[in-house]
Structure 1
Amino acid sequence: MPALCRDCLTQIAPSRRCPVCGSPRVVSHAELYDLSIAHMDCDAFYASVEKRDNPALNGKPVIIGGGHRGVVSTACYIARIKGVRSAMPMFQALKLCPEAIVIKPRMDAYVEASRAIRAMMEELTPAIQPLSLDEAFLDMTGTTKLHGVPPAVMLAKLVRRMKTELGLTGSIGLSHNKFLAKLASDLDKPHGFSVIGAAETQTFLSNKPVSMIWGVGAATLGALNQAGIQTFSDLLRWERTDLIARFGSLGDRLWHLARGQDKRQVSAHEPMKSISNETT
C-alpha cells in the first residue's frame, strides 16, 4: 500500500513513523497515488492569520467578530472547544468563553494571505475553483508528468509550504470527485490529510448523516428528516423517481450523492460562494 510522509515528502512503505525523518505524519491508502481531485481548506483561517501576526495570541482563545452586540465570524480551535461557533451572538460566545480575546476582522490581511496561498496553488495546476478566501478545489489530473510525482505529494508539499512560508495551516481532502474531496478535508482537522478512495466510497458513506452534504441547510435537512431520511443509507432505499417527485432537482442530486457520484468539474470560472467559509 502506498504511503507518504507529509513532512519530508518521501514516498515510503506503510509505517507509523517515517523511516527517513521520524515524523508520525504519515498518510497511507491503496489509492493514494491514483486520485487527483482535492479540496484544500485552511484551518480557522481568520484566527490563524491573527495569531500569526501577533504571537502574543498563541495559546489563547481568539474570537473574530464585532463587539459585544455583534456576532462571531469565526473562532480559533481553543475557543471552539468551549462551544463557540460561527454566527453565534457575541454575548453568548463570551458566556461560554469569557477569557476569549475578541478581534475585529482585518479583511485586507486575510485577502493578502489568501492571494499568497492561491499563488502556491497555481504552481500545481490551473484548474482551481476557489469557494472562498480560505478554501478551494484543485483538479490535479494529468499533473504527474509535469511535476514528476503524484498529486498527493504535491498537495502535501502545498500545505507544508503554507506552514513554513506563510505560517498558516490547511487540511487536504483527496478523492475521485468534488463531493467526496470536500467531505475528506473535514475528517482530520486541523492540518490533516484524508483520502476517500473509489473502492471504499459506499462503505464510507453508508452510516453518515445527510447533514454532511454541502448546501443542505436547516430547512432542507428538516424536509429530509420528515421523509425519514437521516443517513445516506436511508437515501439508498429511495427510488430515483420518488426522490425527484418529492424534492425536485435536489432529489436527483441526492440520488447520485448517496452513491458517491458527482460529475461536477473543477471550474476556475465558478464565482466564489462566500468571502470565507470559516466554520473549519
Structure 2
Amino acid sequence: MTSLCRDCFLVSEETPVDPRRHARCSACGSPRVVSHSELEGLSIAHIDCDAFYASVEKRDNPDLQDKPVIVGGGHRGVVSAACYLARMYGVGSAMPMFKALKACPNAVVIKPDMAKYSSVGREVRALMEAVTPLVEPISIDEAFLDLTGTTQLHGGCPARTLAQLVKRIETEIGVTASVGLSYSKFLAKIASDLDKPRGFAMIGEAEAPAFLAEKPINIIWGVGKAFRKQLINDGIRQVRDLLPYDEPQLVDRYGRIGSRLYYFARGIDDRKVEPHSVMKSISAETTFNEDIKDPARLEKQLWSLCEKVSKRLKAKSLAGGNITLKLKTSEFKQITRSRTLENPTQLSEVIYQESRRLLKTVADGRRFRLIGVGTSDLKDGETADPPSLLVPELAQVAKVERAIDAVRQKLGDDAIKKGRSLK
C-alpha cells in the first residue's frame, strides 16, 4: 500500500502498525495521509473547488468564516451556492430561496458576483494549467486534468503533483478544493465527491467493478430523474442490475445511452481529457419577484435576456442555430420550447423575435416564476446572419445592432437602448 502525505508530500510504502488507527506521516506527523495500492499509477483527475462562490465570499470577508452563507437571489430566487455550514441545515444548490431560509433562517445571504467568481476561477485554472496542458474545464470551479507522463517533469507521481496543486490553490488563492483521482474521467468525477471538503479520494482499476456494483443507477453520468424512473421500472436500481445485459440489448432498449450504461457499469470509460472542449449552449434567465401570467409582461422580460445572450455570442465569436425558451410555473414545473433557425445568428433582435413566437405557444394564462432564453447548435461567428432574400430587412437590422454595439463598447452598456428596454 502506497501512502501520500498531503502536507509535506512524502510518498512512502509505510503501513500503520494498528490498522484501526489513522495513519500519520512519518516525516511531519500530519494526519492528512491517503493510501491506495494504485496511488502511483493513477493519472486522470477531477478537481472541484469546495462551495466555490461561498468560499470566495468568506475569503473576502473574514467575519463570515463561522457563519452559514448562502449565495443566491432574493426571496423568489434560488440558491447558487451554500457553504458547508449552511448545508448542515439542509440547504443545497438550486433550492428555492424561501425553502433555504426556512431551513437556515440565520444564514447570511449574498447576491452573486459572477465577475468576481469568474476572475478567481481563472486564477485557479492558471494553476491547473501550470502542471499540465491537458485541462478540460467543466464549469467555473471544476475541471478534469490528465497528468499521464508527468512524473519525471514534476519529480513525483500525479497524486503528489495534485496534492501540491490543491495546496497552492488554498494558500495562494484562498479557496479549498477536493481531488478525485482515477484512471478515467467517469470515476475521477465520482471520486471527487467522496471526501468533501478538502478531500482526496482515489478509485483504482482493480476495485472499480465492485465499487460501482452497489451504487444506485443514477451514479452513471446522464441518468437523470426521468431516465432513472424508467430504469427502475425495468428493474434496474443499482449498477449491478445492468451487468447481466450485453451492449446490444441495452442499446436496443435505451438507444445510444445504452452503450454508456454497458461500459460505465463495468468501469470502462475511454473518453480523453479535452483541453479545448466545445461550448454547447449560451443562455440567460431571470426569476420574477412575483409570478407573472400576463403575456405582455412576460414578453417584456425577454428583451434584456436576448441582449445578454447576444452579447455573449459576439464576445465568443459564436452564432446560435437553435433558440430555446425556458419557463418555470408557479408550481416549479419546467417548460421548454425550441426552434431551429434557417441560419445561425448573433443578433439580439433575431433571438428576441424567435423567442416571442415560442412564448405565444405557452403563455396561456398560467402563472410563471422564471423565464429564460438560450441558444445552442453553436457555430463559428463568421457564419452568423448571412443576407437573405426571404428576409431582406435583416441586413438593416444587423447594421443598426452593430452600430449600437459600437456605441456601447465605447461608452458603456447604458449609453444607448432600444425603446422596449424602457420601463
Short-chain TM bin = over 0.9
2:89 matched to 1:82? yes
Deviation at 1:174, TM superposition (A): 0.6
Structure with greater Cα Rg: 2
Letter in 1 for 2:11: Q
Does the 8 Å CA contact 1:132/1:274 hold for their aligned counterparts? no
**1:239, distance to aligned residue in structure 2 (A):** 2.4
Residue of structure 2 equivalent to 1:181:
188
Query: 1:3 is matched by which residue type in structure 2?
Result: S
Can you list the C-alpha shifts for 1:125-150, whole angstroms capped at 9, x where unaligned? 10010000111000001111211211
Aligned-residue Cα RMSD (Å) equals: 1.3
Q: Partners of 2:280 and 2:54 in 1: how far apart?
A: 20
Match of 1:260 in 2: 267
Q: Which stretch shows the higher mean deviation, 221-230 or 98-107?
A: 221-230
Amino acid at match of 2:25: C
Q: Distance in 2 between matches of 1:147 and 1:35?
A: 15
Q: Would you say the 8 A contact 1:130–1:272 is kept in 2?
A: no
How far, CA to CA, are the matches of 2:175 and 2:199 in structure 1? 13
SS at 1:225 equivalent: helix
CA distance in structure 2 between the aligned counterparts of 1:58 and 1:198, rounded to whole angstroms:
39
> Which one scores higher on RCO, CA 8 angstroms, separation ≥ 6?
1
Deviation at 1:272, TM superposition (A): 5.4
Q: Is the aligned partner of 1:231 residue 2:238?
A: yes
- State the match for 2:396 in structure 1: none
> Judging changes above 3 Å, is the alpha-carbon distance between structure 1 residues 272 and 14 closer, same or farther for their aligned structure 2 residues?
farther
**Structure 2 counterpart of 1:103:** 110
Which residue number corresponds to residue 34 of structure 1? 41
CA distance in 1 between partners of 2:278 and 2:82 (Å) = 26
> Structure 1's 133 and 189: CA in aligned 2 closer, same or farther, altered over 3 A?
same
* Contact 1:132/1:273 (<8 A) preserved: no
| CA apart distance, 1:217 | 1.4
In 2, are the aligned partners of 1:72 and 1:86 still within 8 Å (CA)?
yes
Partner of 2:126: 119
1:63 aligns with 2:70: yes
Shift of residue 14, structure 1, vs aligned partner: 3.3
The alignment status of 1:211 with 2:218, answered yes or no, reads yes
- Matched length: 275
Q: Give the 3 Å change call, closer, same or farther, for CA 228–43 of structure 1 in structure 2.
A: same
Q: Supply the distance in 2 between the matched residues of 1:274 and 1:260 (Cα, whole angstroms).
A: 29
Q: 1:19 aligns with which of 21, 26, 39?
A: 26
Listed one character per residue, the Cα deviations across residues 79-129 of structure 1 (whole Å, up to 9, x for unaligned) are: 111111111111111111000111000111111111111111111110010
| Amino acid corresponding to residue 43 of structure 1 in structure 2 | D
Cα displacement (A) at 1:271: 3.2
In the alignment, the residues of structure 1 paired with residue 5 and residue 36 of structure 2 have an alpha-carbon distance, to the nearest angstrom, of 12
Higher strand share: 2
Q: 1:74 to 1:272 in 2, by over 3 A?
A: farther
Q: How many angstroms apart in 2 are the aligned matches of 1:274 and 1:164?
A: 34
Displacement after TM superposition at 1:19 (Å): 1.4
Q: Does 1:53 align with 2:69?
A: no
2:210 counterpart SS class:
helix
Q: 2:261 & 2:280 partners in 1: Cα distance?
A: 20
TM-score, length-normalised on structure 1? 0.95
Change (3 A) 1:274 1:109: farther
Whole-angstrom distance in 2 between the partners of 1:29 and 1:14: 11
Q: Within 2, Cα distance between the matches of 1:9 and 1:50?
A: 29
The answer as to whether partners of 1:48 and 1:168 remain within 8 angstroms in 2 is yes
Distance change >3 Å, CA 148–CA 273, structure 1 → 2? farther
Equivalent in the alignment of 1:9: 9
Q: Helix, strand or coil: the match of 1:7?
A: coil
Q: Which residue identity lines up with residue 241 of structure 1 in the other structure? A: P
Moved runs in structure 1, 4+ residues, more than 3 A? Answer: 271-275
Sort the Cα spacing of 1:273 and 1:50 in 2 relative to 1 into closer, same or farther, 3 A. Answer: farther
Residue aligning to 2:307:
none
Aligned partner letter, 1:5: C
Give the structure 1 partner of residue 253 of structure 2: 246
Instruction: Give how far 1:205 is off.
Output: 0.7
Q: 2 CA distance for matches of 1:27 and 1:210?
A: 28
CA distance in 2, matches of 1:272, 1:144: 31
Q: Which runs of 5+ in 1 are unaligned?
A: 276-280
